[in-house]
């Protein structure tokens, strides 16, 4: 199966491609002629759908999109759906991390128990006829006192997953991270959902 990927984020695309390749799913890049999609939905699934629909309609082929949010309990679930632009539109990864740590400090959240958080990813494939399949993946953890590691991207330097060994995602190899990450879980679930059944992928009769 070949899917056009909606994301133009090279870090994210590389992760998705690596995870789906094991299931025989190949990604095609989003055409440069397709403009950025305004992600103004109030849920992760809503944003994933906006992106997938735009690409599927533009290229006339099935498209895959995802949206990921970091939910921090002490911040009432923020940054959530605004994770990629927590420090403002066009914010760099380091800017978002710095704001997150500043907000937690302002809340007096110092212990791991006070810094509980989770990553959630929704992955969605949309076909030009309106058929779609959506899945999700999540991982529980906590926010480290400061950045550690130089791998990964986004909030990886400060997220310590419960299912790991105390390392942040940014301290893990790609394989170690994919094995337990929210994105790894979501896209493995998506790969399972796309395996041919009765002559076609799950979702052929609607979402």
**Residue 170 in contact with residue 161, Cβ under 8 Å?**
no
In sequence order, the 6+-apart residues with CB closer than 8 A to the CB of 32 are: none
Going 46 to 52 to 56 to 62, the CA torsion angle's sign is negative
pLDDT in tens, 119-141: 999 999 999 999 999 999 999 99
* Among candidate residues 130, 126, 125, 128, the one with its CA nearest the CA of residue 191: 125
The reported pLDDT for the residue numbered 145 is: 97
Span 172-194, mean pLDDT? 93
201 has pLDDT over 70 = no
Structural domains in the chain plus CATH codes:
2-194 (3.90.950.10)
Strands 63-72 and 116-126: antiparallel
User: Whole-angstrom Cα distance, residue 78 to residue 94?
Assistant: 17
Q: Residue 24 — pLDDT band, cuts 50, 70, 90?
A: confident
* Among candidate residues 144, 146, 187, the one with its CA nearest the CA of residue 162: 144
185 has pLDDT over 90 = yes
Strands (E), the chain: 2-5, 26-28, 63-72, 79-80, 116-126, 132-143, 159-161
Going 107 to 102 to 80 to 16, the CA torsion angle's sign is negative
Segment (H or E) for 190: helix 182-194
174 has pLDDT over 60 = yes
Angle 177-179-180 from CA coordinates, rounded to 5°: 75
- State the alpha helices, DSSP H only, in 32-181: 44-59, 93-106, 174-180
Top pLDDT among 8 and 50 is at: 50
Q: Residue 200 — pLDDT band, cuts 50, 70, 90?
A: very low
162 has pLDDT over 90 = yes
The reported pLDDT for the residue numbered 132 is: 95
The reported pLDDT for the residue numbered 159 is: 98
The reported pLDDT for the residue numbered 196 is: 62
pLDDT in tens, 52-68: 999 999 999 999 999 99
- The catalytic site residues sit at 67
Looking at the chain, the whole-number percentage of residues with pLDDT higher than 70 is: 94
**Residue 108 in contact with residue 161, Cβ under 8 Å?**
no
The reported pLDDT for the residue numbered 69 is: 97
Four-point Cα dihedral 156, 53, 2, 189, nearest 10 = 50
User: Whole-angstrom Cα distance, residue 120 to residue 139?
Assistant: 7
């Amino acid at each position: 199966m070949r899917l056009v990927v909606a994301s133009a984020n090279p870090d994210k695309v590389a992760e998705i491609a690596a995870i789906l390749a094991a299931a025989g799913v190949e990604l095609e890049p989003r055409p440069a002629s397709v403009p950025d999609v305004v992600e103004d939905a109030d849920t992760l699934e809503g944003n994933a759908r906006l992106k997938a629909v735009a690409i599927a309609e533009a290229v006339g082929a099935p498209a895959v999109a995802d949206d990921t949010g970091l939910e921090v309990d002490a911040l009432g679930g923020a940054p959530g759906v605004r994770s990629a632009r927590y420090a403002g539109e066009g914010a760099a990864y380091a800017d978002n991390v710095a704001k997150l740590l500043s907000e937690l400090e302002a809340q007096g959240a110092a212990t791991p128990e006070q810094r509980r958080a989770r990553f959630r990813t929704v992955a969605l494939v949309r076909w030009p006829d309106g058929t779609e399949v959506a899945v999700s993946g999540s991982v529980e953890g906590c926010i480290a006192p400061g950045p550690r590691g130089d791998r990964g991207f986004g909030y990886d330097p400060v997220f310590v997953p419960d299912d790991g060994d105390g390392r942040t995602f940014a301290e893990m190899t790609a394989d170690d991270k994919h094995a337990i990450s929210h994105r790894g879980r979501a896209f493995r679930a998506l790969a399972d959902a796309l395996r041919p059944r009765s002559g076609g992928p799950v979702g052929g009769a609607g979402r």
